[in-house]
Amino acid sequence: MTTKTISRIQQEGMQALINTLGPVDAIRFIKIFDSGYGDYTNERKTWLPDDPDEYFKSIESRRIKNK
């Protein structure tokens, strides 16, 4: 048994997805695992209140407003 390179595994995996799902759904499947960009841990400090109670109050006020 020979060990496959990462590149070869990627090629075979992509081909298996395309064969099973078709090209469009294969791409859609891969996009599910996209990690995105940015640093959530640091960026949340700029838009998330320090106090969790404040966060939940803002959610509740939006619920009331949208009724």
Q: Residues 7-41: pLDDT tens digits?
A: 999 999 999 999 999 999 999 999 998 777 888 88
pLDDT reported for residue 66: 87
pLDDT reported for residue 52: 86
pLDDT reported for residue 42: 87
For residues 26 and 33, the answer to whether their CB atoms sit within 8 Å is no
Burial class (CB in 10 A: 0-12, 13-18, 19+), 17: middle
pLDDT reported for residue 54: 87
Q: pTM to 2 decimals? A: 0.49
In the chain, domain spans: 6-66
Q: How far apart are CA 33 and CA 47, in angstroms?
A: 25
Angle ∠(14,22,33) on CA atoms, nearest 5: 50
Q: How far apart are CA 64 and CA 66, in angstroms?
A: 6
